[in-house]
Amino acid sequence: MNEGLYLQGMTLLDFARGPALRWAVVIFVIGVVWRLTALLLASRKPLEPAKGSATAGGVKTLLTRSAPAHELEKNIVFQHYSGYAWHISMFIVLLFFAPHMLFFKDILGFGWPTLPNLFIDFFTVVTIGILLVLLARRLMNPVLRQISTMDDYISWIIAFLPFLSGIMSFKHITFGMSYETVLGLHILSICLLLVWFPFGKLMHALFIWPSRYKVGAAFARRGVRA
């Protein structure tokens, strides 16, 4: 078929789940691989004898940093638990909403049990609520305001849109648009997220692992549990 004709006959939804999603995935994969390999430069090798295994310490910190020591944690209780609540809710919505599971099943060839919609409603509201609170905090807290960059706000919008468009299509809050269009917008918001992912702070989802490993290794070499 002629490509021009193909595009002409396409709805927004067709575009979103067709070429847009395909190219978004391509950019995502290439971008992520590029960002990660750019950091695989040779680390400088220290010449002092170590007090402990850097590798073991690195792996340990990678796992244990999710729960800092009490003396350090007592001041960050809010950030700590809102972070947990957000990420857990986000993954629940992403993986255990029936249509999402079916989307992945299409690609992977296997499915898994999903959660009743009532739960999905709840976790979607939690994610949106936390995102709004965290944005307000970023705008008002002097510590956060001074270290915030454009990336923080762009990434916030890009993380927020899939939830907004998701709840709109799920609840049929369409503002006069057809359901298909809203669903198309939802998928496009995911495309946008995939395209932006390698270039902004969303990369923290991957950088967290080498970063934690490295700090754990640096301290373990000195005989300290980080």
- With binding defined as CB under 8 A, does residue 48 bind another protein? yes
Mutual angle of helices 204-221 and 54-64, in 10-degree steps: 130
Distance (Å, whole) CA 111 – CA 185: 25
Residues 124-143 that bind another protein (CB under 8 A): 138, 141-143
Residues 145-164 that bind another protein (CB under 8 A): 145-152
| Angle, vertex CA 170, rays to CA 89 and CA 19, nearest 5 | 90
Report the residue number, 11 or 66, with the smaller CB distance to another protein: 66
Binding letters toward another protein, positions 70-89, x by CB under 8 A = -xxx-xx--xx--x------
Report the residue number, 4 or 142, with the smaller CB distance to another protein: 142
Alpha helices in the chain (DSSP H): 3-8, 12-15, 21-37, 54-64, 70-73, 77-96, 98-108, 117-140, 142-147, 150-170, 179-196, 204-221
With CB under 8 A, what is the number of residues at the site for another protein? 62
Distance (Å, whole) CA 124 – CA 96: 12
Residues 173-212 that bind another protein (CB under 8 A): 199, 201, 203-204, 207-208, 210-212
Looking up tokens 């709109």, which residue turns up? 168
Instruction: Provide the 10 A C-beta neighbour count for residue 123.
Output: 21
State the DSSP code for 43: P
Report the residue number, 47 or 118, with the smaller CB distance to another protein: 47
Report the residue number, 10 or 224, with the smaller CB distance to another protein: 224
- With binding defined as CB under 8 A, does residue 22 bind another protein? no
Site of interaction with another protein (CB under 8 A): 34-35, 38-44, 46-49, 51-52, 61-62, 65-66, 68-69, 71-73, 75-76, 79-80, 83, 138, 141-152, 199, 201, 203-204, 207-208, 210-216, 218-219, 222-226
